[in-house]
Amino acid sequence: MSNSSLNNPLKKYFNQDYPSQSQTEPGLESNLIPKPDAGEKSYQGSDQLRGRKALVTGGDSGIGRAVAIAYAREGADVAINYLPSEQSDAEEVKKYIEDTGRKAVLIPGDLKSETFNQKMVEKAVEELGGLDILALVAGKQQAEADITQLATQQLEETFITNVFSIFWTVKAALQYLEPGAAIITTSSIQAYKPSPFLLDYAATKGAIHTLTQGLSQQLASKGVRVNTVAPGPIWTPLQVTGAQPQEIIPSFGQNTPLKRAGQPVELSSVYVFLASDKASYVTGQTYGVTGGGLTN
């Protein structure tokens, strides 16, 4: 007898070839075909974060969008950061947050600026009335198959966006984080199984993994937990802006054991768990959401 309540993970979400497509970096969620599922209709909250105040970087699209929507539906007020060119996507997220009755704060700006990172935290604290959760999701990824062609500018921008900004944001936020607060970084399957065309990106994700472990030890005595989420191939605007070789796009994610790319909403519950009191004894850990790719 079959159980009609079960969902086959191989078929639960889009599992066909993606149309060939490209966008100019950083890309827009609204222009992606098919549009990812970031939980706009599917994520149901249960008050796990009632009264919390969260800052989500990269909150306009992809994983960050899914996290911001989930946090709001779990009862948190949410500030999101994004690049100014992503304003239209950010406005959509703002509406989803406000539709839950929670406060939404939009903070456009470039994480490559240390000064902006500091101002971003200050604005989030001022507008939200405090800060309890840092979900650091934003990242830069550009494919380059030949290390001799990897430009120093790309190398610098990838490390500054993905790694330096975490240092800057955490340094600015620590004075506001009370015992019980949570910091959640975003690593990647690339930290464990690097693609040959993503050397710089994979190296930053390895750095984030190590940074998360060390920071968790430093902040444990303050009652602040620090964990990281390691996504596998997730269907987001990032992928069609040069993050993958163009010829990979149609079969993107099909080389995983679950034979498809993940959807942003499939990470939402992990970010919620790590921000909630249910994870009160969890710090310094990596949670893989990889479609079966191993993170050890």
Q: DSSP letters of 14-64?
A: --SPPPP----TT--GGG-SSPP--STTT----STTTT-EEEEETTTSHHH
Per-residue pLDDT, 5:
85
Summarised one tens digit per residue, pLDDT across range 1-43 is 567 789 999 999 999 999 999 999 999 999 999 999 999 999 9
Task: Determine the pLDDT at residue 73.
Answer: 98
Please indicate, yes or no, whether the overall pTM of this predicted structure exceeds 0.95.
yes
**Can you list the residues of the chain whose pLDDT is less than 50?**
none
Task: Identify which of 90, 81, 48 has the alpha carbon closest to the alpha carbon of residue 271.
Answer: 48
Sign of the torsion angle spanned by Cα atoms 245, 249, 251, 254:
positive
Determine the pLDDT at residue 296.
Answer: 79
User: How much of the chain exceeds pLDDT 70, in percent?
Assistant: 99
Amino acid at 16: Q
Residues 202, 195 contacting (CB under 8 angstroms): yes
User: Among candidates 28, 243, 248, which has minimal Cα distance to 141?
Assistant: 243
pLDDT of residue 1: 58
pLDDT at position 178 is: 98
Per-residue model confidence (pLDDT) at position 4 = 75
* Active-site annotation, residues: 201
Give strand pairing partners of 226: 183
Write down all domains in the chain, each with its CATH number in brackets. Answer: 29-287 (3.40.50.720)
